[in-house]
Amino acid sequence: YLAKEGKTGVELYLADKDRNSPERLSLLGDLRRALDRSELKLYYQPKLDLAAGEIRGVEALLRWRHPARGLISPGDFIPLAEQSYLMRQLTEYVIDAALEQAAHWWHTGVHEQISVNVSARDLLDSALPERLEAGLARYRLPPKAIQLEVTERILMTDQAYTADAVRALASLGVPLALDDFGTGYSSLVRLQRLPVSEVKIDASFVRRICDSPDDERIVRSIVDLVRSLGLRSVAEGVESADVAARLAEMGCDLGQGWWFAEPMSALDATSWLRRNRGQYHDPVKPVPDTP
Ligand code: C2E
Ligand code: MG
Ligand code: MG
Ligand code: MG
């Protein structure tokens, strides 16, 4: 792995523990109850066109308000859920919640696409396209109201290229984004073999492009590659104006990160989107490339 982002303490702790450790089982039990008790909520973080300064959709990010432990971030419970039968239920919950929010926005004049993270296994689940199709119809939403994000690792599973579910999603017209790009060793040729429309460059590379020539070169080459394949590039983890400007200069299409906005509750995101409708910020002026 090229990724520089370390795992959090809790994640490491759980990963090191036996599958059936009391710690694990208790958190899984809590998660099962959390689904029924609406302790899980989606937060929304906008994505912006770097050159035009316009909003180009939001990513839905899961938050868990645990009654005793407080806020638990997805990095600390998604990997756990992924190894259990709970993941499927979790994904269903996230998709239903995102569709409901999309309907609310879409029918009140906020036409922003919501990107939903799904695990690789969920993407291959044949029930997923049906669920999406039914949900889109129920809420009278166009397929582009939703996008699915799946990590780059999907490129390494041969199943992905042949899965009926992936084909069904493509024919449904629901776009697919590759998440955390750069952290795996995927063959870049393989990128073309999946119906992907967007590639999200991992924050661990983006964060330091103004300080690290290596990171700068990596991100620049990913942006070039993505463009040459006719896909859209999105930089994750944009934390400063300098990074946003450098990305714009590279020709990166979209940016997402704290510099623009943090993930927000549905309520806060709604007012943010209304407040910043159309032009959010002035077009980013590309800075000349300093060697
Ligand atoms: P991701 O999909 O790559 O999401 C981007 C992560 O970067 C989010 O972390 C977001 O809060 C964080 N982020 C946003 N702006 C910045 C920034 O400027 N700097 C930095 N350093 N980070 C920033 P979060 O919300 O903790 O989610 C972590 C991961 O958990 C996500 O990574 C995604 O893989 C997974 N995840 C989140 N929600 C869901 C979900 O509903 N379903 C599934 N299957 N996975 C989810
Ligand atoms: Mg994502
Ligand atoms: Mg990512
Ligand atoms: Mg990530």
Is pLDDT of 184 > 90? Answer: no
CA of 226 to the centre of ligand 4 (A): 18
Q: Is 55 helix (H, G, I), strand (E, B) or coil?
A: strand
Continuous H helices in the chain: 9-16, 22-36, 74-82, 86-106, 120-123, 127-138, 159-162, 164-172, 203-206, 213-228, 241-250, 266-275
Span 29-38, average pLDDT: 91
3-state secondary structure string, 126-191?
A: CHHHHHHHHHHHHCCCCHHHEEEEEEHHHHHCCHHHHCHHHHHHHHHCCCEEEEEECCCCCCHHHH
d(CA 228, CA 281) in angstroms, rounded, equals 28
Is pLDDT of 291 > 70? Answer: no
CA of 107 to the centre of ligand 4 (A): 30
Q: Is 94 in the pocket of ligand 1 (CB under 6 A)?
A: yes
**Banded model confidence at residue 19, pLDDT cuts 50, 70, 90:** low
Determine the residue of 45, 47, 61, 180 to mutate for testing ligand 1's pocket, defined as the one with the most ligand atoms within 8 A of the Cβ atom. 61
| CB atoms near residue 171 (< 10 Å) | 11
| CB atoms near residue 82 (< 10 Å) | 16
Which of 4-8, 41-45, 194-198, 287-291 is modeled with the greatest confidence?
A: 41-45
Torsion of CA 100, 135, 199, 229, to 10 degrees: -140
Q: Could you tell me the pTM of the whole model?
A: 0.90
Is pLDDT of 4 > 50? Answer: no
Q: Is 117 in the pocket of ligand 1 (CB under 6 A)?
A: yes
Angle, alpha carbons 278-281-283 (nearest 5°)? 100
Is pLDDT of 73 > 90? Answer: yes
pLDDT of residue 38: 87
Span 112-123, average pLDDT: 94
**Atom of ligand 1 minimally distant from the CA of 42:** 41
- Residue keyed to tokens 């992936």: 166
- Tens digit of pLDDT for each residue in 204-226? 999 999 999 999 999 999 999 99
Q: Which residues pair with 234 in a beta bridge?
A: 200, 254
**Banded model confidence at residue 186, pLDDT cuts 50, 70, 90:** low
pLDDT of residue 264: 97
Q: What is the mean pLDDT of the chain?
A: 87
**Banded model confidence at residue 40, pLDDT cuts 50, 70, 90:** very high
**Banded model confidence at residue 194, pLDDT cuts 50, 70, 90:** confident
Residue 225, token pair as written in the block = 């590659």
Residue 7, token pair as written in the block = 């795992």
Span 217-246, average pLDDT: 95
Burial class of residue 29 in the structure, from the number of CB atoms within 10 Å of its CB (0-12 exposed, 13-18 middle, 19+ buried): exposed
Spell out which residues have Cβ within 5 A of ligand 3, the ion.
Answer: 179-180, 236
**Banded model confidence at residue 18, pLDDT cuts 50, 70, 90:** low
Q: What residue owns the CA closest to ligand 1's atom 46? A: 117
Is pLDDT of 12 > 50? Answer: no
d(CA 40, CA 62) in angstroms, rounded, equals 7
| CB atoms near residue 239 (< 10 Å) | 15
User: Phi/psi of residue 232, each to 5°?
Assistant: -100, 135
d(CA 127, CA 95) in angstroms, rounded, equals 12
By C-alpha distance, which of 116, 114, 111 is closest to 94?
Answer: 116
Is this complex scored with an ipTM above 0.90? yes
